[in-house]
Copies of this chain bind each other. A is one copy, B any other.
């Protein structure tokens, strides 16, 4: 439950998000809650058409909706996008915190680093030689910033973020705890006694207004720059290999893995746990489903899903047939038998079901 810092009215909220108030504008709102838990003094929202039923059933005093017509007799705020309005209202009630200017006495800032007067450097933070921390930037407790880094105006590094040398983070970007930017890319060559490390001497650049999730890794380039574009949002535990070029306003969901030199066009969306092989190009605005194995280029505006990856609709068709593959195969065997062909007479079910299929990474004994 998110209790609002100060009570407000439906009318004030409508104004704050530029919505059209329908109903009683004097209703007092003290909190913002989900449809299931909201009460008469709470605001809630119907994110999309599917939520309109639950919204009608909700006890919420005020609702953010797309059309007041669906909610006769209720106090609602009509907006083109309830999600956007929610974002605006929450940002109004819970603004992002500002830097508390100053460097904590326990922080270790190299004398040859530059920290702007309006920046905040927290307890036990370490900032290396030649790095620049711009105005309004926040380095929380235990952040480690290497040498020759740049932290842009108003950027926010959460506790325990690590930047290796030569990493830049754009203005207002937010990097969550445990993220590691600029660790060595994974590059080796055959050597006389095993693998020889190819020194990774490039850098990482994260754009303005980007957000990088907890424990995500963005590796430094071999020679040039691994890039994350302006406004791009990256979830937790994502891995971005060396030399990748991730465009602007891209969305990478949790646990995505981009192999080296992957290019992702602006505004593309990759579902969770999707992986790419190296050197592929995902086009602008492409949409890739979860757990997809991207093994070849995807055109601008294209869709991709599954392994082997195919356009989304094709994978839906394949998956539907896949589910009844045993029946289809049995029918094939029957037809073959009727035609006097006898190969593959036994169902694979018996012939091949020796596969072990317990849990991956599981050692639970029950």
The reply to whether B323 and A352 contact each other, CB–CB distance below 8 Å, is yes
10 contacts between A and B (CB under 8 A): A1-B223, A178-B215, A186-B236, A194-B230, A194-B249, A217-B236, A278-B362, A290-B361, A324-B352, A334-B341
Q: CB-CB < 8 A to A324: which residues of B?
A: 344, 348, 352
Residues of the B chain whose Cβ atoms lie less than 8 Å from the Cβ of A310: 323
Main secondary structure of the interface of A (DSSP, over half): loop
Identify which of residues 172-194 in chain A touch chain B, using a CB-to-CB cut-off of 8 Å.
174, 176-178, 180, 183-191, 193-194
State whether the Cβ of A9 lies closer than 8 Å to any Cβ in chain B.
Answer: no
Please give the count of copies of this chain that the complex contains. 3
* Chain B CB within 8 A of A99 CB: no
A-side interface residues, number (CB < 8 Å): 154
Pick from A47, A288, A314, A361 the residue with the most CB of B within 10 Å.
A361
Most B Cβ at <10 Å: residue of A241, A254, A257, A277: A254
Which residues from B are CB-within-8-Å of A177?
144, 162, 164, 180, 183
Complex Cα spacing A305 to B314, Å: 21
Known: A183-B176, A183-B236, A329-B321. A259 touches B361 (CB 8 A): yes
Contact between A271 and B178 (Cβ–Cβ < 8 Å)? no
* B356 engages A296 (CB within 8 Å): yes
Q: Which of A144-191 contact B (CB under 8 A)?
A: 144, 158-160, 162, 164, 174, 176-178, 180, 183-191
For the complex, what is the distance from the CA of A295 to the CA of B201, rounded to whole Å? 38
A126 CB contact (under 8 Å) in B88, B124, B251, B293:
B124
A57 adjacent to chain B (CB < 8 Å): no
State whether B357 touches A312 (Cβ < 8 A): yes
Residues of B within 8 A of A296 (CB): 354-356
Further contacts, 12 of them, CB under 8 A, given A272-B361, A319-B357: A1-B225, A140-B144, A183-B214, A189-B365, A195-B231, A255-B275, A275-B361, A277-B362, A290-B293, A308-B319, A323-B352, A327-B343
